[in-house]
Amino acid sequence: MKGDSFDMILEISQEYLKNEMKKVNAHPASFNIFKDKSMIIPLKLFDIPTPGANIIKQEMLSSGGDAVVHKNAVDCNVETSDIILLGTKKHYNILMEKLQKMPYFKLDKACCELKKFFSTEKTNFIKSPWGRTLSFDKTRVMGIINVTSDSFYSGSRKQSIQEILDTARDMIQSGADVVDIGGMSTRPGSDPISEEDEAKRVVMAIKAIRENYHDIMISVDTYRSNVAEKALEAGADIINDVSGFSFDQKLVEVAAKSNAPYILMHIKGTPKNMQENPTYDDLIKEIAQYFIDKINYAISFNMDENNIILDPGLGFGKTYKDNMEIMDRVRELQSLHRPLLIAASRKSFIGKALDLKSADDRLEGTLAITALCAYQDVDMVRVHDVKENVRIIEMVEAIKCRR
């Protein structure tokens, strides 16, 4: 016997809100209005003078939202306070309208940052200097080919032309969107090789792949400007830099001049010392600030900020706890409105989580992270095992399409 419907309440997920409004037979013109009202967006502002923090809290309360401030802000016993704003788009619009009339206590600056946050749209594609494009309409897959003998995962090491071409063919046939070529290991504790040797390795691999596969995007994994320049000349499309311009000051000039997409990775230290007790006071805040500072630095060299892809650098100056926190807070990094790449494939933090010492045994853990990334609309994953990761993404995308 069919039960009475009035005795049931369901919480509707944001992803299915529009579908459910259709079932209620609401007017289509109201969908976006109700959607904006349905979602509280927690935003955090930093180091606001205490009087300004109190003003923001009162204005949010008066609009129907709220704000979390320091416990001693109310009587101004602290100089500044971080603020967590809790409101819908409607509440924020009201707040911004009021703050723009208040040029004091950093309120005008807070208003500008809020306006920038709500008006900025993430670029939905990248275009290489050679004209090849890649859209971010789903999670894309970057396959790893290391032209080295010492990368941490032996399965990625390919040194002969035939090995490189066979691997590239298999990756492309399995659905890789980008093939990433590295000529020098940056595993924890590794020493750099000569620039000449690195360039020779990557140029050989890039030329071979490009001659056989004209359409595939190729990235070069290097932090050296001369290597990047030679790789681009050989047919590479993307610069993948683990250093964030830190190890070679000329690399930013190469990226700007070539107009090549650039993967900006967060790192603390160097590959040689980065895992020697890395510490953070506020992990996500510090990574985000690093990205903002580096993006502004790149813009100062006339680099197109829409060409920049962010990589939080799992395993590069991070503890096990740090890596797990980054994966659990990916959405916060997406609020920077830049394409995001996650490179977790077979790394040691997966081994620690699953008690697996060998990188050979970490495929399933990698696939779990890829599934999480696909579900959360991460733009790209960098992986060793293309076929398996592509299938995981396709399955997640098939579920998401039901929305």
- Which CATH number is correct for 37-119, 2.60.40, 3.30.70, 2.60.120, 1.10.10? 3.30.70
Tokens, residue 371: 């599934």
The three-point CA angle 247-253-258 to 5° equals: 120
DSSP string, 33-49: HHHHHH--EEEEEEEEE
Pick the closest to residue 285 from 325, 319, 252 (CA basis): 325
In the three-class reduction of DSSP (H, G, I as helix; E, B as strand; rest coil), residue 83 is classed as strand
CA distance 301 to 181: 26
User: CATH code for 125-400?
Assistant: 3.20.20.20
The structural domains of the chain, with segments of one domain joined by +, span 37-119, 125-400
At 261, give phi and psi (nearest 5°): -55, 145
The amino acid present at 150, given as its one-letter code, is D
Q: Tens-of-pLDDT digits for all 403 residues of the chain? A: 555 556 788 888 888 899 899 999 999 999 888 888 889 999 999 999 999 999 999 999 999 999 999 999 999 999 999 999 999 999 999 999 999 999 999 999 999 999 999 999 999 999 999 999 999 999 999 999 999 877 787 777 787 899 999 999 999 999 999 999 999 888 787 888 899 999 999 999 999 999 999 999 999 999 999 999 999 999 999 999 999 999 999 999 999 999 999 999 999 988 888 888 889 999 999 999 999 999 999 999 999 999 999 999 999 999 999 999 999 999 999 999 999 999 999 999 999 999 999 999 999 999 999 999 999 999 999 999 999 999 999 999 999 987 7
Contact 300, 292 (CB under 8 A): no
The amino acid present at 11, given as its one-letter code, is E
Contact 280, 318 (CB under 8 A): no
Contact 206, 218 (CB under 8 A): yes
Contact 104, 119 (CB under 8 A): no
What are the start-end ranges of the E strands in 228-374? 238-241, 262-265, 308-311, 341-342
Catalytic residues: 347, 382
